[in-house]
Structure 1
C-alpha cells in the first residue's frame, strides 16, 4: 500500500522556505561583517571602570554647536548553577556626539 505523501508537501515547503531564509541571512551576515580586533587599551579601560552606571556631559567637549554625552556601566555577578560558579563581568562605554550642520 503506497504512503500518502501529499499531506507532507506543505510541511516540506515551509521547512524548505525557513531553511533557505536562514541560509540567506547567515550568508549576508558573513559577507557584511569583518574580523574584529582586541585593543588592549580598551580592555584596560573597561577593567578600570567602577561598578554601576555613569552618564556625564563633558564641558570641554561642548562648543561650536556640538554636544557630547558619555556613558559607562559595569556589572559583576557570580552565579551558581548545578554546583558550579560562574563569574560574569559585563562593561561598556559609549559616546553620543551631535553637531549642528
Structure 2
C-alpha cells in the first residue's frame, strides 16, 4: 500500500511556463534514465530467459524521445468555452 502524507484535497495555481518547464524536466530525466537502462541492456544483454529485440528497443526509445517535442509543436484546438461550460455544468449543485 502506498500512503501519501499530503492533503486529501486542494488547489494550486502554477504559471504555465513553470508547469511546462517541470514537464520538460521530468521528460528529460525519464528519458535519461531510460537511456541508461537501454545502454545497460545493450551491454549486458537481457536477463536469462528474456527475449529482447534490442534494435526495436532502440527504435522505440528514439521515438519516445520525440513525443514531447512533437506534442508541443502541435497545440490542440481546445474549445475552451465548451470546457468552461462543461465545468459549470459538472460543478453546479444538484437541484
Q: TM-score, normalised by structure 2?
A: 0.31
Query: Which structure's relative contact order is higher, taking Cα pairs within 8 Å and 6+ residues apart?
Result: 2
More strand by share: 1
Higher Cα radius of gyration: 1
Q: TM-score, normalised by structure 1?
A: 0.29
More helix by share: 2
